[in-house]
A and B are shown apart, each in its own frame.
Chain A
Amino acid sequence: MSKVLIVDDDQDICRLLQALLEDEGFQVKSVYNGRQALEVLQREEGWVVLLDLRMPEVDGREVLRRLHQNPRLYRKNKIAVMSAAIRRTRRPQLFLTGEVQRVMPKPFELEEVIEVVETLAG
């Protein structure tokens, strides 16, 4: 698994993450909202998804909800959510609910991003 899908309405963040991960040898695609993300995931599987929670219209939580309704989609991808609202201490709780594999709080360090993606890409 070496494909990364970045989902964030902030295009500057997308560009930064894309450049960083491409430097590390990943194949990277960026989309700017939840609807586009679901389209990509339905077409292709095997993504490491970096999903922003706070987006206009279809937000990250809605994407997670729809993925859960389709267990196949959910199993074939690995998801890390990015959020400024989730503090590091809340990590265990989110793991326990089984919704996501990793939480990446914003603001993030570049090393942390690489570590998260490499772990999930396995």
Chain B
Amino acid sequence: MSHPIDPAAQEELESLSEAIASGMEQEQLLTLIAQRTCQVLSVAEAHLFLKQGQLLIRKASHQARQTVPLRSTLALSEGLEGWAARSGRALALEDALADRRFRSLTVAPPDTASEQGHSAVQAAAVPIWSEHQVVGVLSVVAVDQLPSPATLASDFTATPASAPSAREHASIKGLLPLLAVLADLTALALENTRFLAREGRRAKLLTLLHSLAFDVPGKAVLKDVEAQLGEVMEAQLVDVLVYHAATDELVSLAKSETALSLAQRELGLDHLPLGQAGVLAEVFRTGQPFLSNDLRSVPQFPAALTEHLGMKAALVVPLEVEGQQRGLLSVMSSRTDAFFEEDLPFVLLISTRLGHVLHSQELSRELAGAEADWLARADQEQFLPLVAHDLKNILTTLRGNAQLALRRAAREEVSSPEPVFKLIATKADQAIQLVDDLVDASQMESGLFRLFMESVDLVELLQEEVASLQETAGEQHPITFHSEVDQMLVEADRYRLSQVLTNLLTNAIRYSPHGGPIEVTLSQVSAEAGRSNPAGETGEPGQVPQAVLVTINDQGVGILPEERERIFERSFRGRGAQVASGSGLGLYISREIIERHGGRLWVEPREGPGSSFRFTLPTSRTSPHELA
């Protein structure tokens, strides 16, 4: 999609390029550009800066409205001009008065309060590029007069038709492409005015610059640029070659459908191995442009291009994207003596602009990719809980029916009920646990996992858990509980804490195939021993922060020293795995839960067989008395 320039602006720009080509002093030229910028864009002020080291020197200004004293230099760190020079990007401020980057240029800021009441001020700056470097900045200020308070008051009595109307509030963003064309013309004026002297090319050149000046280029921009650059340069073959590291080739992005371009593709010349690219490889490696009007005398030029496509002259410049050498822009002609030294800055400028276009295309592709990833993930995050819900319903029915059959057998005093019912009930139970673990682990990964905190008496909770697990454990595994205190309040998610205890106690039973006592103890420790984050708060003055330590000792198969940390990883299965079954996620989830409470969970070896699982939790600051 090409972007035609508004006819009035086109005429102004053509006359400006003609003036540039007519040859005049640089100072005069820059003043002319500032003045024409105000006319073309209908703005109040235009300023032209050139970069010198860390400074922007103001070379020309035009103020259509009133003349305000201005500073003659800006540091690169100052103002919207400095921003544009530093970043190499265009910047538009729709509410300039609200932006501190705006006021840097004026010597004495005018009375902002009164100005704010009467006008809307917008500002924009674009960088001026030459040979892949920012060499200056062109900036403009647009002022839209708003009705003054007095006018507003009289509006109530006046008819709407007689009321003075404020100028249309168009966003200054819409001016950026034309401003960029003016900056490009400035660059050409600085480099070599002779380039613009060839009359026939000026209109085409403006269209080309304008096509390249859009932030979000259309898909067909490359095709347009190739065609327009071909016209401006009177060249038969324009090619954008990009280096592909994977194949070590320069690959043509050419999209145009001229006979030569088609032939190039048919002959396979759109892929040039770097090793056979001769001069082209040299330009790519060194970044030095190449110009020849008689390719037959250059043996290092790829023979295929001269022999098969009949190219006689070539101008090749490097293509950079974000300061990185990415490929080449080549312009070739079937005539000898087609190109001049003065064409070089122009082709380089086009190459710089193409680099910006490619970069913004890459950015939008990256953004699109990131968005697709995010959508897929969000979809997955919602999908899993939904499936889990349905799956658990099915498993509940399955388990319930098996349990019902067992109950009926017991009621009818059947001495040996069908063993398959017991198996179905147990397996359905395990499957429900697995589904729960999967949902928990996935929510922990995705950040959707939440705790619902309340005040919980840990002593009571432990008593309940021990009693409940004792039923499943049977006489083989007597579980004892000992606590230093009668009550221990912690701020916790009761359900999640009970999940951790069930998991640890179930493990203790599972991994003790030969039975043996399981001891649960609760004791108080200092907060330093108990906190997961030692840099945390130190508590109220005069109060010693406390933590609580819960220990679960078993006499089971124990844990190898090298596995003591790994057992808390996702899906780790230890050597006891043969004797037990589970999702393998239990300890991972348990540690996450305890750490999200501000505590720690770890395992210690014991003298003799078995292991000792320990966790700490910060104790509640609220005393039982206060709670009551």
Residues of A at under 8 Å CB distance from B? 10, 12-13, 16, 19-20, 23, 84, 87-90, 106-110
Report which of A16, A87, A108 forms a contact with B495, defined as CB distance below 8 A: A87
Whether the Cβ atoms of B397 and A106 lie closer than 8 Å is no
Whether the Cβ atoms of B432 and A20 lie closer than 8 Å is no
A106: which B residues are within 8 A, CB to CB?
392-393, 396
Whether the Cβ atoms of B397 and A16 lie closer than 8 Å is yes
CB distance from A103 to the nearest CB of B (A): 12
Q: Taking chain A's interface residues, is the majority helix, strand, or loop, or is none over half, making it mixed? A: helix
Whether the Cβ atoms of A89 and B407 lie closer than 8 Å is no
The yes or no answer to B493 lying at the interface (CB within 8 A) is yes
A13-B404 contact in complex given A87-B452, A88-B495, A89-B493, C-beta closer than 8 Å: no
The yes or no answer to B403 lying at the interface (CB within 8 A) is yes
Mark contacts of B394-426 with chain A using CB atoms, 8 A cut-off: 1 yes-contact digit, 0 otherwise.
011101110110011001000000000000000
Whether the Cβ atoms of B396 and A107 lie closer than 8 Å is yes
| Complex Cα gap A19–B392 (Å) | 20
Chain B interfacial residues counted at CB < 8 A? 20
The yes or no answer to B71 lying at the interface (CB within 8 A) is no
Whether the Cβ atoms of B397 and A13 lie closer than 8 Å is yes
Please give 5 more A-B residue pairs, beta carbons under 8 A apart, in addition to A12-B397, A107-B399, A110-B407: A13-B396, A16-B401, A16-B404, A90-B452, A106-B396
Report which of A12, A13, A19, A84 forms a contact with B389, defined as CB distance below 8 A: A84
CB distance from A41 to the nearest CB of B (A): 25
Residues of B at under 8 Å CB distance from A? 389, 392-393, 395-397, 399-401, 403-404, 407-408, 411, 432, 452, 454, 493-495
Whether the Cβ atoms of B392 and A89 lie closer than 8 Å is no
| Complex Cα gap A90–B453 (Å) | 11
| Complex Cα gap A100–B411 (Å) | 32
B404: which A residues are within 8 A, CB to CB?
16, 19-20, 23, 110
B399: which A residues are within 8 A, CB to CB?
107
| Complex Cα gap A23–B406 (Å) | 12
CB distance from B502 to the nearest CB of A (A): 12
Whether the Cβ atoms of A23 and B408 lie closer than 8 Å is yes
Whether the Cβ atoms of B495 and A89 lie closer than 8 Å is yes
Whether the Cβ atoms of B395 and A107 lie closer than 8 Å is yes
B395: which A residues are within 8 A, CB to CB?
107
Whether the Cβ atoms of A89 and B397 lie closer than 8 Å is no
A84-B400 contact in complex given A89-B495, A90-B452, A107-B432, C-beta closer than 8 Å: no
Most chain B CB inside 10 Å of its own CB: which residue of A10, A23, A89: A89
A16: which B residues are within 8 A, CB to CB?
397, 400-401, 404
A107: which B residues are within 8 A, CB to CB?
392-393, 395-396, 399, 432
Closest to A12 in B: B397
B454: which A residues are within 8 A, CB to CB?
89
| Complex Cα gap A32–B398 (Å) | 19
Report which of A10, A87, A90, A109 forms a contact with B397, defined as CB distance below 8 A: A10
CB distance from B378 to the nearest CB of A (A): 19
Rank and list the top 3 A-B pairs by shortest CB-CB distance, nearest first.
Answer: A107-B396, A89-B495, A12-B397
Closest to B411 in A: A23
Closest to B401 in A: A16
Whether the Cβ atoms of A89 and B393 lie closer than 8 Å is no
| Complex Cα gap A112–B173 (Å) | 67
Whether the Cβ atoms of B432 and A89 lie closer than 8 Å is no
A89: which B residues are within 8 A, CB to CB?
452, 454, 493-495
A13-B393 contact in complex given A23-B407, A89-B493, C-beta closer than 8 Å: yes
| Complex Cα gap A10–B398 (Å) | 13
B400: which A residues are within 8 A, CB to CB?
13, 16, 20, 108, 110
A109: which B residues are within 8 A, CB to CB?
403
Closest to A108 in B: B396
CB distance from B121 to the nearest CB of A (A): 54
A87: which B residues are within 8 A, CB to CB?
452, 495
CB distance from B185 to the nearest CB of A (A): 65
CB distance from B11 to the nearest CB of A (A): 67
B389: which A residues are within 8 A, CB to CB?
84
CB distance from B232 to the nearest CB of A (A): 66
Closest to A52 in B: B393
